[in-house]
Structure formats: C-alpha cells, structure tokens
Amino acid sequence: MKAFAALLERLAFTPGRNAKLAHLEGYFRDAPDPDRGYALAALTGDLSLGRVKPALLRGLAEERVDPELFALSYDYVGDLAETVALIWPAAGAEGDLRLADAVESLSALGRVEAGQKLAGWLDTLGPSERLALLKLATGGLRVGVSARLARAALARVGAPEVEEIEEVWHGLELPYRELFAWLEGGPRPEAAALAPFRPVMLSTPTDAEQLDPLDPAEYAAEWKWDGIRVQAVAEQGTARLYTRTGEDISAAFPDIVERMAFEGALDGELLIRHGEVVAPFADLQKRLNRKSAGKTMRTRHPAALRLYDILTWEGEDLRPLPFNTRRTRLEAALTTLDEPRFDASPILDFTTWEELANLRADPPEAVIEGVMLKRRDSAYTAGRPRGPWFKWKRDALLVDAVVLYAQRGHGKRSGFYSDFTFALWDGDALVPVGKAYSGFTDEELRRLDRFVRDHTVERFGPVRSLQPRLVVEVAFEGLNRSRRHRSGVAMRFPRINRIRWDKPAAEADHLPALTALLPPEVTP
C-alpha cells in the first residue's frame, strides 16, 4: 500500500500531464503483479468494490473518536476519507498491506465483515496509507487521471501504442496479467480477438472566428445529435455495441445488437427514435447504465443508430480512405442492410460559413446540439488530431440564478466552498434548479469562499445555507424534465459563466423562463 499511496499523493499534487505520465509509468514498471493491475483498474474507474459506504466509514470512525470531534473535523476538512485517515488513532508501529490483498479481501467479504477488516487495517497503517486504502475502498480517487491518460502511461512501459491498447481493452480481465505480459514483450491478449473496439476519432471545438480563414469547400458538415457516441462492431459472428471509451453496452441495447447483421465496424450516435422523431437525451438516459432492457423499456424507448462513419467492412479497413470515400461506402452499406433503425446523419448543404451559421442557429429538431465539420480528405485517425474534424456547438443557454447552498470541495479544494446550489424565483419563493462547481478562476473561488463564510445562515455538516444575495450567470447545454427535482427540470452540464456581484437577487430569472426552454415531449 505504501507504493500505491505514494503514487496517489504524487498524482494529486502534480498538475502537468507529462509529469503525471512519468509517475504512472514508474509505478507500472516497478509494482509487482497483481498490485499494478488493481491500481490500474482503480485509476481507470474499472474497479468497483462496493463494500464501504459513507455511513459505514463514518460509523467506524465514531467508534474510535468522539462523534462531535469527528463531525467538526469533517466539516473543516470536507472530505470523508481524508478526515478518517487523519483522525484515526495511531496504534503504534506501522505495518504495510499489499494492495492486492486489500482488493481481494474487500471483494470477497460482506459489508459488516468488510468494515471489520478495514478497521483492523487502518490500525496498522500510517496516514498516507490509510487515505490510499480508504480512497480505494470507496472508489473516490480524485487525482486528475483519466482512463485515457492511464492507458497512455501503459504505452510508455512497452512497445504497443496506446491505440493498440485501447483496441484490446474491452476484452481484458482483472488483474490484467496478460496486458502487462504483453507490454513486456509477451503475446497480444487473445480475449479481444472477436469484435474488437477501434479507438474513435474525436473533434476539437471551434467558433465562427476560427473557421473564417478556412475554405468551406474543403469541409463536409453534419448535425451534432444529442445522444451518445457509439461504435457498432460485428465480426466473426460476434456483435457488440461500445461507447466512445470502449465500454461494452450490448446487454442494455439488444434491439440494436440483434439488428447488426453485417461484417464490419460502424461509427455513429445512439438515440431514442419514435418513427422519424428523435427523443430528448433524457429518454436515452433511462436505458443507459442498465444490465439489461426489458420488452417494455425497449417498446417505450426504442433505440436507433444515426451513423457518421464506416471503419471496416467485410474484412477491409476503410479508415485510411478520405472521408468523402468513406461516406459513399457508408451509404452503400446501409442500402444493403435495409434496416430502418439504422440511418446516416444527413450532410448539410452550404457554401459559406455564414450559410452554415444560419443552419446552426435554426436546426430542424430541438435535440440537435450544433454542427460537425469534417475535412473531405481526412482519414479516420484515432484520438483528437487538430484540424480534420471540428464541432461547432450551439451557444450555451444562460440563466441568472441565486446561490442558496454551498458545499466544500474535494481534493485540493477541500478547504474551500466550491460546490454551489442555485435557484430561480417561482413566485415569491426560490426553487433550486441545479448545482455547479466549475467555471470560475482560483481568485474568484477565494472570493466566493469568503462570501459563503460571511453569509451563512445554517450549517448541515459540510453544507451551508446562505443568505439569498449572490447572483450567478449559469451556462448549460440542455434541459430535461425531471420528477426527482422540485423544479421539474434537470440541467445538462451546468457551470458558472459569470458571477454577478453587481446584480440584486430580486432581478434573478424566474422558473417559467427556464421551463419554456424544455424540448417538446415525445410520445411513443
């Protein structure tokens, strides 16, 4: 656990990407199997122990220290695992614990037994190792490492490129012994031989100013649909549906997989579609993260594929071909399939950027997020190459809201109030409509933190209720209906766009102005 704890500490306090890669590479080279495999899974979000819940952790701590002291400490620190790691009484000589032993024990035990085991380990570890163990057990590492970055570090350990690692990733099993053996010169893992995932090509954001010097004739444009990017792969009798990160979601969408009667790999957007009408993202969300989808769910929320590209077809790799050629091949492939749940995203007709801007400003359906631009001569290249593909998203929606609650952040923000719940007026009452924890600078964060401390009305653990005085301009990408929220709405990707220190709370927006932005309901 000492080596893993040291890795987490270095990653948490290292801002640069290259420095993080160096720390990860060093750990993956030096740590033994299976410790490094479990560490990799924890960093990529593929390790789910599910035995240690916050209530259990809090209860263990309150058995060792005064509950009031613990509550005050938690309120000050703002992070449960860090509070427990710091306040846990030292038991004398420090020992060590193998990462693999911790993972395998917690995976095999029930919640009560896992809690007892965890308490015994905490008695033998130092503060840094206690924190690493608790972060591992609760799944909240928060060290600024994405799955892509972790896989990029793996590529520095051995000969395979990161794209090759991503192709086999979905077929690997914990603790990744075959993967590390391959990195060190062994054979390529065999588990991913059927229906392999191909790393996707991504776009870069753009705007009218950046597009102006480019020649519009060199680019094709499509609508950007509000679904999730997927890759449909059917090879050697095996069909699978993957997300853009390679997660296998086939079981949740059997109505798509059973229609994949082809030999190849297609790239597109997963949507819910009733006839020709595309439903809001909220309808698709009801089917995501499910282990299966019953007949009723499939009937009420029928899935469809709106395809962008063709990667392989009948044994031929089409990725090196120009986009225009691949598009022609995609349309031909769809003709042979004759499958009504699969169609191609239409190519937009424009000759100038101004014409495209007008199309973007008035899309034919509310679920369209903007436009995609692709160089007509571009090959399909994994990753995010600068220049071939752009996304020109619609302008963010904006509302002026009143900050009602603030909560301490996590990690490096644990000493600041950085998570804000905001509300709109509904008559004479303020109704919460969302929560944001980004969009402000470090200097603005310090000023926000001072405001929270100076205008607190009540405290609820790490949360403070505030005087309704501060107005913030909130930007968000979309709006869905929600029965779980009193306001009846849920924002997509809300963030603080501007802090309106100058604006009185009485002039914040009213709830009807927000609900008017809801997309029309789609009925089966």
- pLDDT (tens digit, 9 = 90+) per residue, 311-338? 999 999 999 999 999 999 999 999 999 8
Q: How confident is the model at residue 460 (pLDDT cuts 50, 70, 90)?
A: confident
Measured between its terminal Cα atoms, the distance across the chain in Å is 53
Question: Which of the pair, 96 or 240, is modelled with greater confidence?
Answer: 240
> What is the C-alpha to C-alpha distance for residues 432 and 423, in angstroms, rounded to an integer?
4
Distance, C-alpha 386 to centroid of its chain = 22
Domains within the chain, CATH numbers bracketed? 2-138 (1.10.3260.10), 204-393 (3.30.470.30), 397-515 (2.40.50.140)
Question: Cα–Cα distance between 241 and 294 in angstroms, integer?
Answer: 17
Average pLDDT, integer, range 151-156: 93
pLDDT for the residue 69: 93
216 compared with 92, residue with greater pLDDT: 216
User: Contact, 309 vs 267, CB < 8 A?
Assistant: yes
* Residue owning tokens 């000969």: 159
Rounded-to-integer distance, Cα 14 and Cα 51, Å: 30
Strands (E), 275-330: 277-278, 303-313, 316-317
Distances (CA, A) of 316 to 164, 231, 278, 340, 465: 18, 17, 32, 25, 61
Query: Is the torsion defined by CA of 8, 10, 16, 18 positive or negative?
Result: negative
The mean pLDDT value of the chain amounts to 90
pLDDT at residue number 492: 87
Closest CA to 382 of 171, 161, 190: 161
Residues 42, 44, 50, 52, CA torsion sign: positive
Task: Please report the pLDDT score of residue 411 as a whole number.
Answer: 63
Q: Looking at residue 115, what is its pLDDT? A: 87
Q: What angle do CA 47, 52, 56 make, to 5 degrees?
A: 170
Rounded to whole angstroms, the Cα distance separating 357 from 353 reads: 6
Paired with 466 in beta bridges are 456
Residue 310 has pLDDT above 90, yes or no: yes
Q: Percentage of the chain with pLDDT > 90?
A: 65
Distance from C-alpha of 155 to C-alpha of 162, rounded to nearest angstrom: 5
The CA distance from 215 to 235, in Å, is 38
